[in-house]
Structure 1
């Protein structure tokens, strides 16, 4: 079992930067073209009022590292955002997307993206990995998939708006996906089969579409039915099959190509750690009446969602904003408890998890794992409450039980 540490409130779960990595075949030569898309929500950058305009500026750095995490290339530039509306400066729905491309040999890479606010001088970074393919190795292959927020038309030209975060909650009717298919066979038709997975690879949604194929590069768009999927994390799996060969030699081979892309459904203003609504309702037991939680869980899905949101709305310290800071802090504590106090049961259900969720991180911890004359125990000190809580490992297997009364002070925090 991990040890409790001091942590700042509600910083575990607030996203500050989104970026996506996509590999495509280059226009010429071998290797891959890596496209890096970065999305910066306006609410996460600092705006200054300059006359009638609000202006923000920040520095972006993309660092490319090889499979040994050795730096091989880096690009740095500045971006500026302007708006005349204050409401946009604090809105998670408004954002700026930046994009850079790199030509690289095939192989595994680590991509680090850093944003530095030019006003506050604060920075944050994140790292992802990608395996880039050599598209010259196959007669039939495909790029990575891009989830779209919007697909529109200007005449016969398609205009795409990429979804960088992977959250499709604002696309309740389903979402479009874009990819390129590279065809050097004699096939003139593509069969595209998709499946949506969640929890132990169980298929919960599937679909098929047929597309015409040209020789070489083909832009493929297809729609995924995500209607009424509950909140959570998902995997979109796609199988591409060329059909209708004019050359019998090609037809003798079974060409198939598979791709996978994660996506999620998370309500705006709610922590991304909430991936199961019933579990999130159960986890409110430390601050809400058990009978009320049972009633909410028994409701039909749409009513359950509305009741859950209303329950938290009543506790929102800033009801005029989209974010609910109390909810973010509460579920960040649940997430921390699950990561650090899990034993035979989920961490939030343990005694240490309960105390951590209710009171937060202790000011000090006194640990006694090897005292000769006593079983292992810990003392958590909360100076602002003038209280201490003692946990004893009666079994010797790290299952610490609370031996200090808690109910009096707990009732005052509800």
Structure 2
């Protein structure tokens, strides 16, 4: 998996997430069969950082600390197994950009961990303001030690700028897309002992109670890949061929978003052989965030009709029953 983090900041069309910053990770294979490489990603909006004027530009500096904990059966941390930190300097020429919640700074750091279910904690400390932000998350580290397994795969990564002609991309990190996006693209690595033709089977299901994003603490008792979260309806499976060579290969699954309303979803990806046997599988939870009113909506009644994607029927009725357009607009 090739990750492009060369740009200091990334402009995104989605609204800022509720947390002060986002964190994600991807488990992938290493040369050691008893260890797994885990790439950790952080994404923080520039307006969360304090910039100081230095030599004609604006500079922010922050420290990122990643901690990994063993957990008990309830997903609670019981022992720290690893801690790692690194510094980040952000240099911006335009002051207005430092105040933006739509321009982000991304970082990545890789650690080697033993496979298993753990808890992760990432802390960002702004050196200029002294502010500290903390995120906790369930951490499921995949294992790649099965020597008799001819095919294995990494975790899925939701990416923002994938192109078939490119070998690198920018991870989404927040796992959230705006409702104005046309597709969700997930990248993954496939490790093969020999050349083989595979079938990539994939499906998307909406999660129950998905109107709001699940809290990290509530997810600590679940598998972070979403494999035991409750879903709505029956999964519709699609498939595509994938020819792999010995060693590391890249795979991609693209999901159209035009028929998906705002909420939380789980994507499932299976790698199958020529006889239909499943070699490996991965899943990931992602979110579609309503982007608000379309610019072409010119009246409040048409605007209210768009609420059917995110509001309850009785809430919409209360808005419609107001006596004037002004009152409907206020309640809207």
TM-score when normalising by structure 1: 0.58
Cα distance in 1 for partners of 2:87, 2:292 equals: 29
**Contact 1:193 1:239 survives alignment (8 Å):** yes
1:228-259 Cα shifts (integer Å, max 9, x gaps): 4211111111122122xxxxxxx6x9334222
Cα distance in 1 for partners of 2:68, 2:308 equals: 32
Give the helix-richer structure, 1 or 2: 1
For residues 187 and 176 of structure 1, do their structure 2 counterparts lie closer, same or farther at Cα, with a shift above 3 Å needed? same
Instruction: Give 1:217 shift.
Output: 2.1
Q: Which residue of 1 aligns with 2:114?
A: 105
1:277 corresponds to 2:310: yes
Q: Which residue of 1 aligns with 2:64?
A: 60
Q: Which residue of 2 aligns with 1:35?
A: 39
**Contact 1:182 1:218 survives alignment (8 Å):** yes
1:319-338 Cα shifts (integer Å, max 9, x gaps): xxxxxxxxxxxxxxxxxxxx
Q: Which residue of 1 aligns with 2:157?
A: 146
Cα distance in 2 for partners of 1:99, 1:127 equals: 17
Cα distance in 1 for partners of 2:153, 2:144 equals: 8
Instruction: Give 1:276 shift.
Output: 5.2
Number of residue equivalences: 271
Decide which of 243, 266, 270 is 1:235's aligned counterpart: 266
Q: Which residue of 1 aligns with 2:321?
A: 291
Give the strand-richer structure, 1 or 2: 2
1:108-162 Cα shifts (integer Å, max 9, x gaps): 2211000111122111211112222321213322110001101146xx6512111
Q: Which residue of 2 aligns with 1:216?
A: 247
Cα distance in 2 for partners of 1:140, 1:97 equals: 31
Q: Which residue of 1 aligns with 2:141?
A: 132
1:264 corresponds to 2:272: no
For residues 144 and 88 of structure 1, do their structure 2 counterparts lie closer, same or farther at Cα, with a shift above 3 Å needed? same
The gaps in structure 2 that reach 5 residues or longer are 1-16, 209-230, 294-306
Instruction: Give 1:22 shift.
Output: 1.3
1:174 corresponds to 2:204: no
Cα distance in 1 for partners of 2:57, 2:314 equals: 42
For residues 109 and 275 of structure 1, do their structure 2 counterparts lie closer, same or farther at Cα, with a shift above 3 Å needed? farther
For residues 14 and 177 of structure 1, do their structure 2 counterparts lie closer, same or farther at Cα, with a shift above 3 Å needed? closer
Matches within 5 A, 1:2-21: 14-21=18-25
Cα distance in 1 for partners of 2:317, 2:22 equals: 29
TM-score when normalising by structure 2: 0.72
Larger Rg: 1
Higher normalized contact order (CA 8 Å, seq sep 6+, divided by chain length): 2
For residues 279 and 84 of structure 1, do their structure 2 counterparts lie closer, same or farther at Cα, with a shift above 3 Å needed? farther
Cα distance in 2 for partners of 1:268, 1:84 equals: 29
Cα distance in 2 for partners of 1:51, 1:269 equals: 40
Q: Secondary structure at the match of 1:150?
A: coil
Instruction: Give 1:268 shift.
Output: 5.3
Instruction: Give 1:280 shift.
Output: 9.3
Q: Which residue of 1 aligns with 2:204?
A: 196
1:158 corresponds to 2:167: yes
Q: Which residue of 1 aligns with 2:104?
A: 95
Instruction: Give 1:165 shift.
Output: 0.3
